[in-house]
Amino acid sequence: LQFYSLADDTQSLEVEVSPSNRVSAIGATAIKPTRVELVAFSTPSTSTGKEAGSYWMATLDTWVNGTFAAERHIKFWRHSAEGEGFVFRFIAQLQATDRNYSRNWNRFELTTRIDAPHEDVITSMTFSPSSSSPLLLTTSLDSTIKVWSYSGSSWHCRSSSSYRSFAPLDGAWSHDGSMFAVAHPNAITLWSLASNSLIHAFNCGSMGPARKVEFIGEEGTMLLAGGKHGTTVWDLLTFE
């Protein structure tokens, strides 16, 4: 996973999400590499002290080889804005004198790896807006919608839901993180985080199969969905 600085027009960081050293036998079909398919970032922390500016990164990597079932992993990485101790101070000095040194320095720390988070292709992955206790929302072609939370030492599945066995294709959080919306081919569903219950289901109508969904408006009281044949906006105060 490469990070690129627009200001400097250079690669600023590289994270090895899935180390691999698989070698194919002579004459055999080359083994396909692991691919990073999705990445999401949480809102940086606004607290003071050593946690200031820190945030989470979630990555999805997949390995498919021949007739074997695909291997999927969601990994949670913690990024600290500032480090402590001699090693961090030494690295900071090197970065100050050599701008290219940061390319090899990774402040992302892998905290959790979730094996087989879903039983099929994962279609979306997004963090809630909270900067102190973010949650991760994932959707999959296995028809499940999952919310993941951090317990203090690792991440785990907080809740799992589904809607009429429809495959969810995209997910989005409300501005305050109290609700989330999910785009299905035939409907847009609105869910309560507190009760993990369905609030309302919107028919896609002439928009066609829904592909994207997002909360819009200054206070996030409207829901925008996009499909093959156009877009639709609903008012969440009236559900119309």
Rounded Cα distance between 31 and 173, Å, is 38
Query: For residue 180, what pLDDT is reported?
Result: 98
Residue 47's CB: how many other CB atoms inside 10 A? 12
Q: How far apart are the first and last CA of the chain?
A: 42
How does DSSP assign 118-179, residue by residue?
A: SSS-EEEEEE-S-SSS--EEEEETTS-EEEEEE-SS-EEEEEEE-STTPPP-EEEE-TTSSE
Query: For residue 34, what pLDDT is reported?
Result: 87
Weakly modelled stretches of the chain, pLDDT under 70: 20-31, 81-106
- Token pair for residue 33? 């590499």
Query: For residue 105, what pLDDT is reported?
Result: 46
- Token pair for residue 37? 């398919």
Question: For tokens 């701008």, what's the residue?
Answer: 99
- Burial, 14: exposed, middle or buried (Cβ in 10 Å; 0-12, 13-18, 19+)? middle
User: CA angle at residue 204 from 200 to 207, to 5 degrees?
Assistant: 150
- Token pair for residue 13? 């960081």
